Structure 1
Amino acid sequence: MWRDRDFRRLWVGQTVSQLGEHTTLVVLPLCAVLTLDAGAGELGVLRAVGQAPILLLSLLAGAWVDRWRTRTVMVLADVGRALALGTVAVAGLLGALGLPALLVAGFAVGALSVFFDVAYQSSLVRLVERDQLVRGNSALEGSRSAAQIAGPALGGALVSLLSAPIAAVSGALLFALSCLSIRRIRRGESLPEATQRRSRRHPKPTRGLPSRLPDFTRRRSQRHSESTRDLSQRLSDFTRRERSQRLQEPTQECSQPHPEPRQEHSQRPPEPTQEPPRRPPRVWRRICEGLGFVVGDPSLRAVCLASAAFQFSLAATMTVYLLFLPRELHLSGTEVGLALAATGPGALLGSLLAARLPGRFGHGVVLVSAAALGDGAFLFVPVLHGSSAGTVLALVAVSLVFGTFGQLVNVTVMGVRQALTPDGMQGRAAATITFVGMGLTPLGSLLGGFLADEWGLRPSLAVTAAGMLLSPLLMSLSPLARLGRTLPDRRLLVD
């Protein structure tokens, strides 16, 4: 797998893109808090706007990615995100940076990230062999974990050392590097729908002619064939009319009392034209197919519900958490970045464990236990006080535990989804789960900001962290908990 140049280019591009994305996730909120002195409500709105594209565009992204070339989608997404962050830097240099500019940039980065994430997951299925799918997922998720190590730390350090708008330039440069790497992928993608559209627009040449004749010769041959078919059709119609008239003449002389059937046969009244029933647009039909497939599968339906509960609670928790660290614990930007970056090494460890633990203990046991341990880690944060080294180490430990078991759940769930989904449904299934699982994150961010304003940071953090335990509870009551060491393979089914 690693000998494949195209896979290496995808891996490098995805890694750099994830690094830029995780840098941006820290730079924009810290820019609002430290530079613009944004409050809890404003920070909640900023995070909600950045997460709103998940709710608005996930289903459309899945339907479109299944029809488009994934490389093109990823390249355009990288270019758009680089331009969005570049505008933040320009606005900062001109002294025009404000919350509206951050909202626009956050929405643009979030929208294009939705397309990029769906595209790179679908690209792996089209790029590697079946027996390399698990290894490919582990490599991509491991690179995402590595990006989580450097991204928050880099973003926090740049915000502390430089101005926050200038720190956004680092994210733009990373997206540009990702674009250059992914653009070099050379392997073609076989898209059945695109092939069918091309065959309808450009019909095959006439039988008996060489397939490589010049275009003008082929077009002339096609016109000649069409004119020949038209002439033969006219002769056939004329012969049919003459025969019916000859059959009618003797019957009319004998004055047969049954002219109506002959009249119907010779002069059939025109039938009223009925318009064909209108069908919904093709994109929406495909979206409904993806929704129906995921909802109809008990395991995938449970993944959606558990993911929705987790993402809603996590969005509320992180909104309060990003305010709790600098204002309640009085941590600097570098210390905040260090605490957030500790999630990365844990996620890297979780990716390594995901290659062994499900096959040894069973996918269901790993999902439920890892979700309970990882999601419960934030319950220890509200008891911390002060900005001592012990507090920073405790936050690092919390992020390490959360990253390890959270990544273990992510990789295992992705493997379950890919194993239970046919090839032609991969993009739509991924987008549907993203839509249902993360569609509530804007509301979670708004709720976190509201609770922080009304109750204070410490009580709000305790409540939102406790809500994260709803996800493992839902998984324990679903068919996911009964998944064994091996998964059924439905990828070769035709949708």
Structure 2
Amino acid sequence: MNQSMEASAHDQRRPAMRSRPARGQPRAEEVLREPMFARFWTASTVSSVGTAATSIALPVLVVRYLGASNFEVGLVNAAQLLPYLVLGLLAGVFIDRWRRRPMLIRTSIGRAVLLASVPAFWAVGWLSLPLLIVILVGFGALNVFAIAGAQSFLPAVVSRPQLFRANARIDQSDAVAQTLGPAAGGALVAALGAPLILLIDAVSYVVNAVLIGRIKVLEPTPEPVDRRSGIGAAIKDGVRWIYRHPTLGPMTVSSHVWFIGNNAMLTVLAPFALRDLDLSSLTFGLLFALLGVATLAGALLSPRIGDLLGVGRTVVTCRAGYPVALVLLGVIAGHGVSRTAAVVVVFGALGLWGLISGVENPVEMGYRQTITPPNFLGRVNSTARSANRTCAVLGALAGGAVSGAFGYRTAFLLGAAALIAPFVIAVVTPLRSARIET
């Protein structure tokens, strides 16, 4: 057993305790007053706003500018997801072997160049759907390294007691970006055209790189390369560590199931709301704006709830709420419910979903970052993220297939039944009593 595995085994044997700031450390509430985290948070927020605007501009570019068919739109979406499936586990190995700050700077610059190439190719008349797909595959590959790298870099930026609130701050700004970004993106697309919005997003990544470059922290020494074991053994070590951990393993597996249910719900929700309920585009947009606002509210409450309940009970409580939201959607998808009542329930169900996910995500992320040894963070984050993205694809396919064959009601209720599993996993495993050692 190498030293890193010994460290991880020791970590798994630690007694679980409640998370409290240690004496002499800065209060976690003051995390934004820490200059290095303020730069990290600003960098994350700027790129989130750009990404949210692109989420509107890219579909417009593909459908209206390039005239893509429905199948081709699917190819574009798959192009952004494919790198997670192919590179996820491999990326974690290299993230653990590299200094993370320089890697984050390089990936931001690379993403900026790729995004800026889209309007450049459009301006000279060279942009085509195959070329755009190639660009998006490259962009997605850099995203795999950047997102897992950022999650692995954060524990070097703030102290361990601050991780929960640091993640909550990041989630809060993400929620604001997801609420306001699409609206701003739609207005900018109308005013400037879709290709130029991607140029604005490219600038946001340049700003991100500059801010990350100004973060001066002492990173842990990267894991030494073991020439005898190779990359495959390093991947196995990371996978083995996360899934054999008594609390992180159940948390990770249950999150995989959650992603299946979440993406099944989102896949079914759009045609249900737009066709069956006949919501206008504006009302449909407001529905997802509410989801963003509710997520923001949950992220604001997350630190206090996490302190009050602890990690395990927070996760259990939140996991109990997701099936309720889908049951509500399943009930109104049946007959005998007025359109007005159905619309009110849809807004309420999405609000509940956003609120509890906003509470849960910072707690889960902070817990994972806190208990994972630094030389395993890259592999742990990449393993979880790549598996979650795979499950998201399965959930989207399942939601579309079930709703097409059996109707919206069956799809929502089966989704609710599936989401009971993450709750049960949290209750019957040591995850229910997870705590953080001070």
**So what's the TM-score if we normalise by structure 2?**
0.77
Q: 1:307 to 1:103 in 2, by over 3 A?
A: farther
- How much identity, in percent, do the aligned residues show? 31
Deviation at 1:104, TM superposition (A): 2.9
Select the residue among 55, 58, 61 that pairs with 1:28: 58
1:184 partnered with 2:240: no
Q: 1:343 to 1:76 in 2, by over 3 A?
A: farther
Alignment of 1:317-328 (within 5 A): 317-321=265-269
Deviation at 1:166, TM superposition (A): 3.1
2:289 aligns with: 341
Indicate if the aligned counterparts of 1:475 and 1:481 stay in contact, CA closer than 8 A. no
Deviation at 1:333, TM superposition (A): 5.9
Indicate if the aligned counterparts of 1:41 and 1:446 stay in contact, CA closer than 8 A. no
Q: Distance in 1 between matches of 2:66 and 2:324?
A: 33
Larger radius of gyration: 1
In structure 2, the residue corresponding to 1:186 is in which secondary structure?
coil
1:425 aligns with: 376
Select the residue among 403, 407, 416 that pairs with 2:358: 407
Q: 1:3 to 1:141 in 2, by over 3 A?
A: same
2:237 aligns with: 289
Select the residue among 12, 18, 34 that pairs with 1:4: 34
Gaps of 5+ in 2: 1-30
Q: Distance in 1 between matches of 2:353 and 2:236?
A: 35
Select the residue among 110, 114, 119 that pairs with 1:80: 110
Partner amino acid, structure 1, of 2:298: G
1:210 aligns with: none
1:440 partnered with 2:391: yes
Gaps of 5+ in 1: 198-277, 491-495
Q: 1:132 to 1:305 in 2, by over 3 A?
A: closer
Q: Distance in 1 between matches of 2:374 and 2:95?
A: 13
Q: Distance in 2 between matches of 1:170 and 1:337?
A: 22
Indicate if the aligned counterparts of 1:16 and 1:177 stay in contact, CA closer than 8 A. yes
In structure 2, the residue corresponding to 1:187 is in which secondary structure?
coil
Deviation at 1:94, TM superposition (A): 4.6
Q: Deviations over 1:431-484 (max 9, x none)?
A: 2222222223334445556667x559xx35861674265244233234676546
Q: Distance in 1 between matches of 2:190 and 2:346?
A: 19
Deviation at 1:308, TM superposition (A): 1.7
The root-mean-square deviation of aligned C-alpha atoms, in Å, is: 3.6
Q: Deviations over 1:379-400 (max 9, x none)?
A: 6568589xx9998876654443
1:15 partnered with 2:17: no
Deviation at 1:11, TM superposition (A): 1.0
Indicate if the aligned counterparts of 1:156 and 1:333 stay in contact, CA closer than 8 A. no
Tell me how many residue pairs correspond in the alignment.
403
Q: Deviations over 1:7-60 (max 9, x none)?
A: 211111011122223333343235445555655544443323322222222222
Select the residue among 296, 317, 338 that pairs with 1:369: 317
1:416 partnered with 2:367: yes
Q: Distance in 2 between matches of 1:323 and 1:129?
A: 45
Partner amino acid, structure 1, of 2:303: A
1:279 aligns with: 228
2:262 aligns with: 314
2:303 aligns with: 355
2:157 aligns with: 127
Alignment of 1:130-145 (within 5 A): 130-145=160-175
Indicate if the aligned counterparts of 1:27 and 1:164 stay in contact, CA closer than 8 A. yes
Deviation at 1:405, TM superposition (A): 0.9
Indicate if the aligned counterparts of 2:156 and 2:218 stay in contact, CA closer than 8 A. no
Q: Distance in 2 between matches of 1:451 and 1:484?
A: 32
Indicate if the aligned counterparts of 1:149 and 1:345 stay in contact, CA closer than 8 A. yes
Q: 1:102 to 1:450 in 2, by over 3 A?
A: farther
Indicate if the aligned counterparts of 1:314 and 1:468 stay in contact, CA closer than 8 A. no
